[in-house]
Amino acid sequence: MFSLANTSVFAVWRYSASGATPQYAWRAGADSSGQPFYLCRAHYQGSLTPGNIRPGFGGCHISYDGDEKNINHYQVFLLTHSSYGYWQWVKYNLPAHSWRVGDDTNGQPLYVCRARYADGLVIGKTWRGLNACYIPYGGREVSVRDYQVFLLR
pLDDT of residue 153: 79
Average pLDDT over residues 44-52: 97
Could you give the CA distance from residue 79 to residue 30 in angstroms, rounded to a whole number? Answer: 16
Instruction: Write the pLDDT tens digit of every residue in 54-110.
Output: 989 999 999 999 999 999 999 999 976 655 789 999 987 899 899 999 999 999 999
pLDDT of residue 134: 98
More confident position, 79 or 139? 139
134 vs 24, 73, 91, 112, 114, CA distance in Å?
Answer: 25, 21, 14, 10, 9
Instruction: Write the pLDDT tens digit of every residue in 7-31.
Output: 444 568 999 999 999 999 999 999 9
70 and 58 Cβ atoms separated by less than 8 Å = yes
Query: Residue 58's domain spans which residues?
Result: 2-152
Domain count, the chain: 1
